[in-house]
Each structure stands twice: as structure tokens, then as C-alpha cells.
Chain A
Amino acid sequence: MAEAMGSEFSPRLAWPLAAFLTVLFAVPLMLLVGLSLQSGGGYGPGSYGLGQYAKFLTDPFSLQVLGATMRLGAEVTGVTLLLGFPLAWLHARAAPWARGLLMLVILLPLLTSVVVRTFAWIVVLGRQGIVNSALLGMGVIDTPLRLLYTEAGVVAALTQVQMPLMVLPIIAALARTGPDLPDAAGILGANAWRVFRTVTLPLALPGVIAGCLLTFTAAVTAFITQSLVGGGQMLFMPAYVLQQALALGDMPFASAISVVFLLAVLVVVAGLTVLGRRVRGYA
């Protein structure tokens, strides 16, 4: 008893934050769900129902926005993994001094303002941007290409913006396993690709899944990058919520869109979490 008192911190220390988040996070989310259940545009009592959800789920435009957002998240996660895993691998194999430098380059985008990072892509992809200048200069094209306001542009920008979220957990996973097992497999004569497929990758899978989870949730909600690089033609869920809430003032429908969006993200998060548990069981 005396030992417990002297050496452990009281669990009650967590209560202020628990109360704070209950009032300012859980209650607002309940209000959001409550408002989304109002069927009419009005606030009158007795008009509750699933009307807003029916409106969303029967509207081809809304469904298309949801589908485009989820597809964008999947594309960004895929490209980020394809480039991020080799970068994490390079970090794990680099000399100590190079590791520090690599880490600085990886962390810099994470901590730089999102608007600044996105602005950089406007400069790179614009009509007078670096890509167009280079292609025009080499005589590959005669007129500037439209790179800004395309889905490929959004994917490229989001890949850069979210890359650290993918790379950091994989670096942690590779550091946990160390170079010994892959080296041993190599010395025993396994082909380098086979070592990667059967040793390095499976051991790093928990980090890969954690990275995919963070990258996906960040990519689908990153509406600054989505709207600045995507322009007005491409509408994704966050901007759709904003449009309905602030521009049109349709709060019940905006709430319903938010709840659908929350649920869609939660389904992906839950799926990846379950996958992560199973993978950890094998490793």
C-alpha cells in the first residue's frame, strides 16, 4: 500500500482531461449526430428521422463525392507506401551522420505549415511552374500543360504532405527488428528480393499498417491541399461539408455528411487496426 502510494501516480490525474474531452469532444459529436437526424430544414420538434441520410445515399452526386474521397485516400496511401518504404529502408541502412540528415528532410514537411507546403506545389505545377518551364525548355511540349487542378496533381501534393506519416512508423518498425535477420537470410544464400519479401517486409508490417492508417486519414481530411491543388472542379468530402454548412447554411445535411464521412473513415481505421492485430500475431 505504502509502495503503491509512493511510486505510482494517481489515476485521478487523468480526470481533468477526460472531463474536458467529454464536454468539448464527445458532447459536440453527439450534437452533430442529433442534428443530422432532423429531417426538415427547420428546428421544430418531432421532425426527426433518417431523411438527411436517405438524401445523401440516394443522391448520385453525394455518393460520387464520397467515392472520389475514398479513392483519393487509397491512391495517396499506395503511392506514399511505394516511395516511403524504400526511404525508411535507406534510413535504416544509412550511416549515423546520414541518418540525422535524412531525418531532418523527412521531418521538415511534417512541421512546415500545410499552406506553405501546398503553396510550393502551386509554384511547381503552375503554368509558369518548374515542370512546365523544364518541358517547354526541352521542347517536349509547345504549350504549358494543365497540371494544377488535376487529380494527379492532388495525389502528388498529398504524397509529399503525408509522406512523413508513412515513413516514421516504418522506420520505427525496422529499428525494432534490426538488420540481423535480413543479413542472416542473405548470408544463408537467400536472394535479395526473397529476403525482402519473406523477412524484411513481414517484420515491418505493423509499421506499414500504422503508416497506412495515418496517411489515409490525413489524406482524406486534408482539405487545404485538396482545394488549393484540386481547384473548384474536384469536390471532396471536407469541402462538401464546408460548402453545405458555411455557404448554404444547411446544418442538418452538413451534419449528416460529416457523420457519413466519420463512419467511412472509421471503417477503414477499424479494418486496418484488425489487420494490424493479426499481423502482430504472426510477427
Chain B
Amino acid sequence: MPEPPRPASRQIGWDVVTFRIVMGGLATVALVLLFAPTLVVLIVSFTSGLSLRFPPPGYSLRWYAALGDAWQLQFAAWNSLKVAAATTALSVGLGVAAALGIARSRQLSARVLDGLFMAPLVLPALAFGLAALMLFTAVGLPVSPLTLTLGHTVVCVPFVVRNTVASVQQLDPVLLEGSASLGASRWYTWRRVVLPLVRPGILAGGFICFMASFDNIPVSLFLRDAATDMLPIRMWQDLEGKLDVTIAALSGVLIVATVAAMLLMERVAGLSRRLS
């Protein structure tokens, strides 16, 4: 039975089918790979058994209850939160000012400074940790929460600079000129015109900065003192020693907290739009 020829754009040939199968298949593998480990940890954290066996023999909240007595982990978590908060405050202060200074400049000096501000992202953080320890030893500053905060700021401030620069560059210069020509002082323009428009960028950068500091191990290894236990290092050392199910429960808490913070930042700062 002869069929009338269909327009070329309506034909789905073998090439399209194979292309979609291959690309869709690989993308599915990527999605499973991205998501499955997180899901597995969440499930194992509710085990009633003593091991990380999957699937668990039964379910209970015993390991979450055990977190209440894990004072070492609580102490380390508190230290990490304090250092991350101080790092974020310092990074936002230095980074937002620096971003305003370089974002709209076409001068060579601004390009060079941008390179300097981004350099800590590319160089291995562990080498920087070792180098920073040498500096603090040379000037006689003992390792403490202060040296930790300074070191964390070096490796976390690029996130603030990058996100703020991106949002300042999107700012329409007409708004600034208009505000100035209407007689607004520079401070007033900053507070009432610029800040509301770049705030999402600052929030997104500050959030990533906080998470990066909270999760940092390479710099902390060199710059913490014996009394300042940091959460990721504590967890890492617990995992090297014994495969503890308490860590699974703690991971569950961290995953839920991260997802909640991400959803919040998505609402107030459009996080996913800023990261891509």
C-alpha cells in the first residue's frame, strides 16, 4: 500500500532512535550514579543492625538516638559551624568589596586581580595548607581557630567574588547614572539601588562559601590546633578506623540539612541559575 511521502522533519529515522537511546541511556546512568549513593546512605542510616549491610536487616532510629551521646562529633560540628560562619563573614566583607571594584573595570589591573582572586580555586588546597602553616610558623602565630578562619577564607572567598561579579555585571549602568544624576549619594545608591539587585549573587556566593568552609579538610589538617576538632576530619578519621553506623546517621542529618538549605537558597537567590 503506497503511502504519501511525509515531510522530512516528521520522519524519525534510525539515526534519531539510536542517538536518543545512547544519549538517554548514558544520562540515566549519570543520574543513577549521582543519586543512588545518597539514597543508599539514607536507607542504611535507619538500620537496626550493627553493620553497614545493605539492605539492612531491619529498621530503627537507634543510630540517630546515638548521635545525642556522640559528644566528640557534636563538639567537632560546633567548631566547624563557628569557623564556617566566621569565614563566610570575612569572605563576604572582603569579596563583595573586591567584586564591586573589579566587575565593571576593563583595565588590565582588574584582570590581574581577578586572576589572583580565583587562583586559590585551581591550586591544590593541600599544598596551600602546608604553605600557610609555614607562614604562621615563620611569624610566630600559633595555630588556632583564627588561623583556621584565615586559611579557610583564602580558599572560600573566590566563590563570593565570582558570584558577586556575575550579578554586578548584569546591573544596568543606567540605573546607577540615574540615581547619581537625581542627587543620590554614593552610599544611598549602593543601599537602595545596587544592593537589592546584587543581593541574590552575594547570598549564593556566601552560601557556597559557607558549605565549602564547613566541608574543608585539606586546609584544616594543617591549621587547626589539637583542641579544635573539625567535623569532616573527625568523620574521616572515624571512617578510617572503623566503619561506624553513627556516621551514617550523621550523614543523614547532613544530607537533610543540605537539601533544606539548597531549597531555601533556590527560593531566595535562585541558586541553580547562578551555578550554571
Binding site for B on A (CB under 8 A): 2-3, 5-18, 20-22, 24-29, 31-32, 35, 82-87, 89-90, 100, 102-124, 126, 128-130, 133, 156, 159-160, 163-164, 167-169, 171-172, 175, 186-187, 189, 191-194, 196, 217, 220-221, 223-224, 227-228, 237-238, 241-242, 245-246, 251, 254-255, 258-259, 261-262, 265-266, 269
Contacts and interface: CB of A to CB of B under 8 A. Distances in A.
A7 B54 contact: no
Interface in B30-86: 30-31, 33-38, 40-41, 44, 51-55
B124 A29 contact: no
Given A14-B102, A160-B34, A238-B218, A122 B239 contact: yes
Nearest to B179: A6
A217 B218 CA distance: 14
A163 B150 CA distance: 29
B98 A13 contact: yes
B40 A130 contact: yes
B23 A111 contact: no
B215 A113 contact: yes
B240 A116 contact: no
Given A8-B176, A14-B98, A221-B218, 14 more contacts: A2-B180, A8-B104, A15-B101, A21-B116, A25-B119, A114-B215, A116-B235, A116-B251, A128-B52, A128-B53, A133-B54, A192-B15, A220-B124, A269-B122
Contacts of A20: 94, 153-154, 157
Among A25, A186, A189, the most chain B Cβ lie within 10 Å of the Cβ of A25
A106 B189 CA distance: 37
Contact of A82 (B26, B110, B239): B26
B217 A18 contact: no
Interface of B: 8-9, 13, 15-16, 18-20, 22-27, 29-31, 33-38, 40-41, 44, 51-55, 94-95, 97-98, 100-105, 107, 109-110, 113, 116-117, 119-120, 122-128, 130-132, 134-135, 138, 150-151, 153-154, 157, 161, 173, 176-177, 179-181, 186, 189, 208, 211, 214-215, 217-218, 221-222, 232, 235-236, 239-240, 243, 247-248, 251, 254-255, 258-259, 261-262, 271-272, 275-276
B104 A9 contact: yes
A206 to B, nearest CB: 14
Nearest to B263: A104
A25 B130 CA distance: 11
A186 B33 CA distance: 31
Contacts of A5: 180, 186
Contacts of B262: 104, 107-108, 111
